[in-house]
Amino acid sequence: MAGRETGETAVPAHSGPVRDVVEYDLLFDCVHCGLCLESCPTYLLTRAEMDSPRGRIYLMKSLEEGRITLDDDVVRHLDACLGCRGCETACPSGVHYGRLLEQARDFVDRNYRRGFCDTMRHAAVRFSFPYPARLRAMLWPLRTAERLKMRAAVRRLAPRALREWIDLLPAQTQAAPVYPEARWPNSGGPTAVVHHGCVAQVLTPSANRNTERALAAAGYRVVQLAPTACCGALDLHDGNLRRGLDFARRNVRALKRSGAQAIVSAASGCAAAIASYGELLKNDPELAGDAREVSARATDLSTPLLARGTPAGRLECTVTYHDSCHLVHGMGVREGPRKLLALIAGVRLVEMAESDLCCGSAGSYNLLEPAMAHQLARRKADNIEATGADYVVLGNPGCEFQVAAELRRRNSSVRVIHLADFLALAASGA
Ligand code: SF4
Ligand code: SF4
């Protein structure tokens, strides 16, 4: 047995809550209709009820009522969930699945002892990802190897588990598109701030920079937020609720202080996390009001750009768009990025099949659950290639790494690019 429940024993059948797993009342929103099943990526892959939203809600309820113990099997089904919230979009009953999952994972984190390898993987993610300085330091050897044209050799020498992580990393020294300086007046208009995130500021700084420049080109006065703390999403999704809440509080204070009218993130996972601060901190006596205010100002990039008129540009190419889960299912942003792309002269937009099905990235999911993540990446890459597009545009760095890694694996000619970088490319007339 890889792990076991700690501090609690099995309790006989019971009709009410005997454990504090999730907000019990929220479980009753689910009427077991099953309409979410075909929207759930893990159910599509395994066809197992316990890998569906309905099945996982049943597990949470059974745990809460003490009808099952927190054993390896239960944890496996909860771990396999991507947290993509595709089920929320499909659910006619308004189930708050994302909140339920965060609470259930926190319960798992407090009450279940993982096996050694699993513990190490979770610990590595928690230690490095939310802290840009640590992540930079850890990537330094790879960056050096790349400069010496030795990345492939380093990869070959690395243990298998580490090799999979290396494969996901974009080239550390590649040049990225940049918005032309002349289009960056940075004066007048409403204020906007770009939350730089943690992983994004190390691995895709161009997306942050070009998001700021696109906003400035559209007439926003871009203010800086320094230093930026992790938004907390990685911890919230991984069951580390206490630290996730600490990050949320730090960000609420900093974002409120910035006075920005629009709070934008180039990472849709971060934008959705910031948009959830109001709910997350609703019982915080000091910050509940500020958290609500900050949440109400959180937005994706397309919304403020479309509100002010889009930056001009031209690029002759065929483009398909991948809906990042937390943008489409967490924030309900589906049309905005497409409208923005369609406004660029020369761009031909083609839809891919299952554009809103998770690519398997899901925060740190592809590092922690690589088998399921690979299957989803392959499915996504098949759908992308079937469009014949030159570019797949998306709004989240995690999806960018995941999709790019799979397309590299198959030597595809399709280029993966963040929406902000694509706007920069079009603005520079490349
Ligand atoms: S969050 Fe995604 S993977 Fe998890 S149950 Fe919902 S649809 Fe399935
Ligand atoms: S989560 Fe929603 S869609 Fe899925 S079974 Fe429950 S009520 Fe139906």
Distance between CA atoms of 58 and 64, rounded to whole angstroms? 10
Site of tokens 């190897």:
145
pLDDT grade for 184, boundaries at 50, 70 and 90: low
Ligand 1 atom nearest 325 alpha carbon: 2
Query: pLDDT class for 162, splitting at 50, 70, 90?
Result: confident
CA 60 / ligand 1 centre spacing (Å): 14
The Cα 393–Cα 320 span in angstroms is: 6
Residue 104 Cα to ligand 1 middle (Å)? 13
Bridge partners of 223, per DSSP, are: 193
Ligand 2 center to residue 81 CA distance, Å? 15
Q: Is the pLDDT of residue 50 over 80?
A: yes
pLDDT at 428 over 90: no
Query: What is the overall mean pLDDT for the chain?
Result: 91
For residue 10, what pLDDT is reported? 47
Listed residue (283, 286, 279) closest to 250, CA to CA:
286
Tokens describing residue 331: 């924030």
Please name the helix (run of DSSP H) or strand (run of DSSP E) that holds residue 345, with its range, or none: strand 345-349
More confident residue, 338 or 178: 338
- Least confident stretch, 89-98, 151-160, 187-196, 259-268: 151-160
Model confidence, pTM: 0.91
Ligand 2 atom closest to the CA of 35, numbered from 1 = 3
| 38 burial level (CB within 10 Å; 0-12, 13-18, 19+) | exposed
SS3 321: strand
314: its two tokens: 């031209």
pLDDT higher at 364 or 82: 82
What's the alpha-carbon Rg for the chain, to the nearest Å?
21
Mean pLDDT calculated for residue range 213-225 = 91
> Looking at the CA of 329, which ligand is closest?
1
Strand ranges, E, within 90-181: 112-113
Ligand 2, atom 2, residue with closest C-alpha: 91
Question: Using CA atoms in the order 314, 319, 322, 326, what is the torsion angle rounded to 10 degrees?
Answer: 10
Q: What is the pLDDT of residue 408?
A: 94
61-65, 150-154, 175-179: which is most confident? 61-65
pLDDT: is 196 or 181 the higher one? Answer: 196
Q: Which of 266, 300, 306, 299 is nearest to 396 (CA)?
A: 266
Amino acid at residue number 128? S
Distance CA 332, CA 86 (A): 11
Please give the average per-residue pLDDT across 363-371, as a whole number. Answer: 91
Instruction: Return the residue matching tokens 């979410």.
Output: 36
Residue of 58, 60, 87, 375 best suited for mutating to test ligand 1, as the one with most atoms within 8 Å of CB: 87
| Closest ligand 1 atom to Cα of 42 | 3
Q: Which residues contact 394 (CB under 8 A, 6 or more apart)?
A: 321, 322, 323, 324, 400, 403, 416, 417, 418, 419
1: confidence class by pLDDT, cuts 50, 70, 90:
very low
Residue 13 backbone phi and psi in degrees, to 5 = -50, 140
Candidate from 121-130, 180-189, 289-298, 420-429 with smallest mean pLDDT = 180-189
Instruction: With cut-offs at 50, 70 and 90, classify the pLDDT of residue 187.
Output: low
Q: Is the pLDDT of residue 183 over 60?
A: no
Q: How far is the first Cα of the chain from the last one, in angstroms, to the nearest whole number? A: 56
What are the structural domains of the chain?
A: 19-113 (1.10.1060.10), 181-304 (1.20.1050), 310-427 (3.40.50.1860)
Strand, helix or coil for residue 45 = helix
User: Does residue 53's CB lie within 6 angstroms of at least one atom of ligand 2?
Assistant: yes
H or E, element range at 343 = none
Measured N-to-C along each axis, helices 241-258 and 268-275 cross at an angle, to the nearest 10 degrees, of 90
What's the rounded Cα separation, in Å, for the pair 223 and 242? Answer: 29
- % of residues, the chain, pLDDT over 90: 76
Neighbours of 96 (CB within 10 A): 19
Q: Helices 97-111 and 72-80, interaxial angle, to 10°? A: 140
Is it the case that residue 252 has pLDDT exceeding 60?
A: yes
Out of 85-99, 101-115, 186-200, 278-292, least confident range = 186-200
Q: Which residue has its alpha carbon closest to ligand 2 atom 7?
A: 30
Closest ligand 1 atom number to CA of residue 39: 7
Closest CA to 218 of 54, 350, 343, 84: 343
Residue 147's pLDDT is 84
- Measured in Å, residue 39 CA sits from the centre of ligand 1 at 8
**95 is written with which tokens?**
């189930």
| Distance between CA atoms of residues 324 and 268, nearest Å | 7
pLDDT at 45 over 80: yes
Sorted by sequence, the CB contacts under 8 Å of residue 288 that are 6+ apart come out as: 278, 281, 282
Most confident of 30-39, 184-193, 360-369: 30-39
Q: What is the pLDDT of residue 352?
A: 98
The reported pLDDT for the residue numbered 186 is 53
Asked if pLDDT for residue 380 goes beyond 50, the answer is: yes
What's the gap in Å between 243 CA and the centre of ligand 1? 23
Ligand 2 midpoint to CA 36 (Å): 6
Helix (H, G, I), strand (E, B) or coil at 418: strand
- What percent of the chain stands above pLDDT 70? 93
Q: Which residues line ligand 1 (CB under 6 A)?
A: 39-42, 53, 56, 81-87, 97
Q: Could you tell me if the CB of 160 is within 6 A of ligand 2? A: no
Exposed/middle/buried for 390, CB within 10 Å: 0-12, 13-18, 19+? middle
Measuring from atom 8 of ligand 1, which residue has the nearest CA? Answer: 40
